[in-house]
Structure 1
C-alpha cells in the first residue's frame, strides 16, 4: 500500500491597495463605543473598590493629621463622589468615541493616498 499523496499547500499573494473609509468608520465607531463603555464601568468599579477597601477613609485620616484643625471636616468623598466620577468618565468616553472615530477615518484616507503611491501592503494567504 502506498501512502496517500500529500495535499499541495496553496499560497496567494495579495495586496491591500485600498481600504473602504466607510467600513473603517463603522468599525472604529463600534470599537470606540465598546472602549467607552469599558472606561465608564472601569471607573465606577475602581471607585467602588476604593470605597469598600477604606482607602478614602485612610486618605481622610492622613489629611486630618497633615492639616490638623485647619482642615475642618473635609472628606475626599465630598470632592470625588461616585456621581462625579461616573460623569467625568462618561465625558471622557464620549470625547474618545469622537476622536478615535475621526482619527481612524483619517488614517484610512491617508492609507489610501499612500497606497496609490507605493502599491499597498503585501499579504500572503496560505491554505493549511
Structure 2
C-alpha cells in the first residue's frame, strides 16, 4: 500500500536520472572493418599532409641546406655527398604515401581481427557490461 492509502504506488521522481545496464556481447566484424578503414584513411591523409607541411617549414628555415653545408665541411669539398637530393619534396611525399598505404592496410586488418577476438572472448566471459545514465 502507498502512504496515501489508495493502493497506487507513487511515481518515482521524474527529474532523477535513469540508469540502464547493458552488455556488449558482440561486435560486427564488417562494421569494425568499415570503421577502422575510414579511421585509418583519415590518419593516412593526415600523415601525408603533415609531412608536406613539416618539409615546407624545414625548407623555409633552410635546415636542409645547412645540413648539406655541415656535411661538406666535415667530409671536405671533394666528397660527393649531396644531402639535398635525398630530402627532395617528391621523395618525402612518395615515402610518406607508401607508409600511409601500408598503415591503412595494417590498421584495417588489426581492427577487424580485434573485433573477431573480442567476439571470442565475449562469448567466454559474457562481454563488456556498461551502466548508462541520462543526466
Matched, 1:109 2:109: no
Q: Which residue of 1 aligns with 2:98?
A: 91
The structure 1 segments of at least 4 consecutive aligned residues displaced by more than 3 Å after TM superposition are: none
The answer to whether the aligner puts 1:16 opposite 2:24 as a matched pair is yes
Task: Decide which moves more: 45-54 or 104-113.
Answer: 45-54
Relative contact order, CA 8 A, sep 6+: which one is greater? Answer: 1
1:64-97: CA deviations, max 9, x gaps?
110112324x432212210010011000000000
Q: Which structure: larger Rg?
A: 2
Residue in 1 aligned with 2:51? 43
Matches within 5 A, 1:14-93: 14-72=22-80, 74-93=81-100
Deviation of 1:8 (Å): 2.1
Q: 1:46 Cα deviation (Å)?
A: 1.0
How far the C-alpha of 1:127 sits from its partner, in A, is 1.2
Please say if residues 63 and 71 of structure 1, whose CA atoms lie closer than 8 Å, have aligned partners that are also in contact. no
SS at match of 2:131: strand
Matches of 1:18 and 1:59 in 2, distance apart?
54
Gaps of 5+ in 2: 1-12
**d(CA) in 2 for partners of 1:101, 1:81:** 30
